[in-house]
Amino acid sequence: MIRIAIQKSGRLNEDSLQILKDCGISIDNGKDQLKASSRNFPLEVFYLRNGDIPQYLRDGVVDIAIIGENVLIEKGEDIEIAEKLGFSKCKVSLAVPKSVKYASVQDFEGKRIATSYPNTVRNYLKKNGVTADLHIINGSVEIAPNIGLADAICDIVSSGSTLFKNNLKEVEVMLKSEAVLAVSPKISEVRREILKKIQFRIRSVLQARQ
């Protein structure tokens, strides 16, 4: 039995279940349960919060996970990526109010930036020799400039509609991300074999989707 973590609710949840389904792995639908198992494959699903998944992988509480690359970059740079999955594509970007004149990343010097991705922002700014004041919040980040909490934000941009609705403009794309299959450093040899079977199926599914 291999244990896989997928997002409990949110944008990745549906597409993650869909790819397992396309791989011929049927999961008993138990949205309210935090655990489910497959009827036709040696697999157990744990529905978890995105941000918690890197630690679960590290601890070996789950063997594999479907997770956004952006979350691994923020919280799990040490964790192995077995496959890129081609869905949930997004960017992690810096944005400022539309009215602000923006020249370069140097403009962030000394500014207050609201974000749920502190490590990603800090590394990006550091590479550019910029020091800013980070304000960590867990959601609804785009509201921060409007309520005077920050001068700028860093968050996920997908369609861009959240930025647009909050009168913000994207000025720096720090990274591009998609869903990936990540692997625990503690995975056993036996489960590695099961993982190989899943990878084989995933590759055919992705090829068929092209």
**DSSP-assigned letter for residue 33:** S
32, 39, 99, 139: which one binds ligand PRP (CB under 6 A):
139
Q: How far is the CB of 199 from ligand PRP (least distance, A)?
A: 28
Give the H or E element holding residue 18. helix 11-22
Q: What are phi and psi of 129, to 5 degrees?
A: 65, 30
The residues pairing with 183 across neighbouring beta strands, listed in sequence order, are 64, 80
Residue nearest to ligand PRP (CB): 139
69 belongs to the binding site for ligand PRP (CB under 6 A): no
Q: Which residue's CB is nearer to ligand PRP, number 71 or number 202?
A: 71
Cβ atoms of 180 and 57 within 8 Å: the answer is no
Query: What part of residues 155-194 is at the interface with ligand PRP (CB under 6 A)?
Result: 155-162
Find all residues with CB under 8 Å of 104, minimum gap 6, and list them. Answer: none
Cβ atoms of 184 and 46 within 8 Å: the answer is no
Which residue stretch of 15-23, 151-159, 170-178, 190-198 sits at the interface with ligand PRP (rule: CB under 6 A)?
151-159
40 belongs to the binding site for ligand PRP (CB under 6 A): no
Residues that bind ligand PRP (CB under 6 A): 10, 139-142, 155-162
